[in-house]
């Protein structure tokens, strides 16, 4: 079944120390930055702002790429992931090199975590300044893989993506028309009046007919159950959903309309 990417709370990423020499002649112009300084998840700030307004990822993805760049240590390696939840590039960070311009740098990337010749590496340029605590919280990346070399601003959102997006879109306590309580947590747990389960949000599924999240369901053919949702006039509507011709489809009438508590 082709459904696009589903939000997960982990990303893959890496580094092999000592691959391509740094540009020593430029170090006086740009402060030295190490791979550890970039570790975590970086999200396209225009996407974050748009998502906060509508709280419906599929609609937002039609206008603004839900770009994510992630760097996370795995053993002695630092895998690098760039994705818009439709296309993705997975590589390994070999080094961070300073540019000859202030606050400008480039990532040295390779397809494998092993010694690589300078003719086989790829570069991703980025710009940014540290905050007063010496940490980077905002960076501009020139991504050649998914963004086709266009500059875009990104925000550091932590080490996990799920809690950030869940927090924007669904997390909170609600009451239905009968006064019963419903909750969604940032860590991905839903509590309905009659059951509780873990859910995963769909971020970018161009085949779907609605916004949806999925949950494990061992009684179904694909091991999952689906719920549609929409925000309307400040209320959260929930819809029954199912797979039809390998696509997620929602019923037209909501089975619950929830008011934030």
Output the DSSP codes for the chain.
----EE--S-----B-SSSS---GGGTTTS----GGGG-EEEEEHHHHHHHHHH--HHHHHTTS---EEEE--BTTB-EEEEE-SSSEEEEEEEEEEE-SSTTEEEEEEESSSS---TTT-EEEEEE----TTS---EEEEEESSSSTTEEEEEEEEES-SHHHHHHHHT-EEEE-TT--EEEE-TTSEEEETTEEEEEEEEEE-TT-SSEEEEEE-TTSTTSEEEEEEEEETTEEEEEEEEEETTEEEE-SS-SEEEEE-
Low-confidence ranges of the chain (pLDDT < 50): 2, 8-28
Measure the CA angle with vertex 176, ends 174 and 178; round to 5°: 135
Q: How many domains does the chain have?
A: 2
Last residue of a domain, one of 105, 137, 160: 160
Same domain, 80 and 191: no
Same domain, 137 and 247: no
Last residue of a domain, one of 106, 128, 160: 160
Last residue of a domain, one of 103, 125, 160: 160
For the chain, the farthest-separated pair of C-alpha atoms sits apart, in whole angstroms, at: 70
Tallying the residues shown for the chain, one arrives at: 261
pLDDT tens for each residue of 98-114: 999 999 999 999 999 88
Q: How far is CA 88 from CA 31, 69, 84, 97, 184, in A?
A: 30, 10, 7, 24, 28
Position 12 scores a pLDDT of: 39
Same domain, 135 and 224: no
Mention every residue, 6+ apart, whose C-beta is less than 8 A from residue 17: 76
Position 92 scores a pLDDT of: 97
Same domain, 102 and 193: no
Same domain, 24 and 91: yes
Position 16 scores a pLDDT of: 32
Same domain, 127 and 204: no
Host domain of residue 232:
170-260
Q: Is residue 165 part of a domain?
A: no
Same domain, 118 and 178: no
Same domain, 144 and 204: no
Same domain, 87 and 190: no
Q: What is the CATH number of the domain that holds 33?
A: 2.40.128.50
Position 22 scores a pLDDT of: 43
Q: How far is CA 229 from CA 52, 55, 190, 235, 246, in A?
A: 16, 10, 13, 10, 19
Q: b/e per residue, 199-226, with b = 16+ CB within 10 A?
A: bbbbbbbeebebbbbbbeeeeeeeebbb
Same domain, 113 and 20: yes
The token pair at 190 is 């839903």
Terminal C-alpha separation, the chain: 37
Q: Is residue 4 part of a domain?
A: no
Nearest to 181 by CA among 192, 189, 171: 192
Same domain, 117 and 48: yes
Position 51 scores a pLDDT of: 98
Same domain, 141 and 175: no
Position 129 scores a pLDDT of: 96
Measure the CA angle with vertex 40, ends 168 and 55; round to 5°: 15
């Amino acid at each position: 079944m082709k459904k696009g990417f589903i939000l997960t709370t982990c990303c893959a990423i890496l580094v092999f120390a000592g691959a391509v020499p740094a540009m020593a002649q430029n170090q006086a112009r740009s402060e030295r930055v190490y791979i550890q300084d970039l570790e975590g998840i970086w999200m396209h700030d225009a996407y974050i702002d748009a998502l906060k307004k509508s709280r419906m990822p599929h609609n937002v993805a039609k206008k603004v790429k839900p770009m994510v760049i992630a760097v996370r240590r795995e053993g002695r390696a630092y895998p690098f992931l760039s994705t818009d939840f439709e296309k993705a590039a997975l590589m390994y960070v070999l080094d961070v090199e300073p540019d000859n311009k202030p606050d400008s740098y480039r990532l040295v990337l390779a397809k494998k975590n092993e010694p690589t010749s300078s003719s086989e590496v790829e570069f991703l340029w980025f710009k940014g300044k540290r905050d007063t605590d010496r940490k980077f919280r905002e960076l501009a990346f020139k991504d050649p893989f998914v963004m086709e070399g266009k500059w875009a601003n990104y925000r550091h959102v932590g080490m996990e993506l799920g809690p950030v997006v869940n927090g924007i879109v669904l997390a909170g306590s609600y009451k239905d028309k009968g006064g019963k309580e419903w909750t969604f947590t940032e860590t991905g747990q839903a509590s309905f009046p009659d059951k509780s389960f873990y859910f995963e949000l769909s971020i970018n599924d161009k085949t779907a007919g609605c916004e949806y999240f999925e949950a494990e369901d061992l009684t179904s053919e694909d091991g999952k159950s689906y719920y549609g949702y929409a925000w309307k006039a400040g209320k959260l509507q929930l819809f029954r959903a199912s797979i039809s011709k390998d696509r997620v489809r929602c019923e037209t009438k909501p089975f619950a309309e929830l008011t934030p508590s």
